Amino acid sequence: MAIDVTLIPGDGIGPEITAAAVKVLEATGLEWNFDHQLGGMAAVAEGGDPMPAATLASIHRTKLALKGPLTTPVGSGFRSVNVALRKEFQLFANVRPAKTIIPGRRFDHVDIVMVRENLEGLYIGQERWVEVDGDPHGRAESVAVITRTGAERIVRYAFEYAVLHRRKKVTLVHKANILKNTSGLFLDVGREVAAEYADRIECNDLIVDNCAMQLVMRPETFDVVVTTNLFGDILSDEISGLVGGLGLAPGGNIGVDGGIFEAVHGSAPDIAGQGIANPSSLILASAMLCDHIGEDDAAAKIRRAITATIVADEVATRDLGGTASTREFGDAVAHRVA
């Protein structure tokens, strides 16, 4: 039976890296039914809406989406197309794995999964201006919201992920020493959930600034990291930097009833159409999609193929020190998968 997936090529380099990812997925031997839809500036150019109703309807139907980078139109009233998607589909968990692929670099043994709460915290966008001494913009205020329900859901997801993927430790990251209520609630709930898994999964907690330092000093001591929205946004990019940057960093946004998998880097309009973009992030996101639907063998094949292509075959794009084009790299990975 064919697997229905909403395919959103996106903007800039998006169509190029999406084509490579599709070729790799098709090489797995699974039967895919891709429903091509628009998003971002490509959708604005077509119909004036960065997230058309047809795209949303497709994702509601398929429960699965693979998307390239989307550009949020400036001055459109949209805070972020990606944030809008997370809210629309209640994608509460952002999952960002980072694993060393190329040996011999500064960090050889990084294998960290960041699990970030996606719907709460400061990113809810509850902000306001307060007048000070006649200046209507004299003070800006922003509200951070942490709920017991949201904290428990994301921490439990992290522990269940650890169990499913045979991980050994979960680290709770917080700022409860200063943010007594919001971060304090997250930490308290996290510890409650951790107690339920004490016989299976080790748990520790770190203040976010200490975590940021430890990640670059002792990255090998981390396994699964779970934290709130803002902290997760920052730390996930730091973790990606440990393994070579965003070009090797996939992401998945998971909800109760579906998932959207993506390249986490931007649309890079400055190199769009030149055929030099690294498609690894979206190819690895495709592997995450396979994991999500229970096609573990296909996911493993894709990951092994990426590593073999770069390390054994010495086929790499320019950002990784090679000369391969986007298409050549995608073809090489697909050949390995097949």
Q: Which of 16-20, 107-111, 163-167 has the lowest mean pLDDT?
A: 107-111
pTM of the shown model: 0.93
Cβ partners under 8 Å of residue 192, min gap 6: 152
User: Any idea what the Cα angle at residue 223 is, between residues 334 and 289, rounded to 5°?
Assistant: 35
Beta-bridged to residue 207, according to DSSP, are 174
Domains in the chain with CATH codes: 1-89+257-338 (3.40.718.10), 105-246 (3.40.718.10)
Q: Residue 77: what pLDDT?
A: 57
Does residue 79 have a pLDDT over 70? no
Q: What's the mean per-residue pLDDT of the chain?
A: 94
Residues marked as catalytic: 123, 175, 209, 233
**pLDDT at residue 80 tops 80:** no
Q: Distance between CA 215 and CA 236 in Å, rounded?
A: 11
Q: Is pLDDT at 75 greater than 60 in this prediction?
A: no
**Residue 72 clears pLDDT 80, i.e. is over it:** no
* Residue range 102-130, pLDDT digits in tens: 877 777 789 999 999 999 999 888 999 99
Read out DSSP for 49-64?
Answer: -SS-HHHHHHHHHHSE
Residue 76 has a pLDDT of 53
Share of the chain above pLDDT 90, in %: 83
- Predicted pLDDT at 294: 94
How distant, in Å, are the alpha carbons of 20, 29, 30, 279, 298 from that of 338?
Answer: 14, 8, 11, 18, 10
Residue 7 CB contacts under 8 Å (≥ 6 apart), including other chains: 18, 22, 34, 35, 36, 37, 65, 66, 67
For the segment 213-242, the average pLDDT, to the nearest whole number, is 96
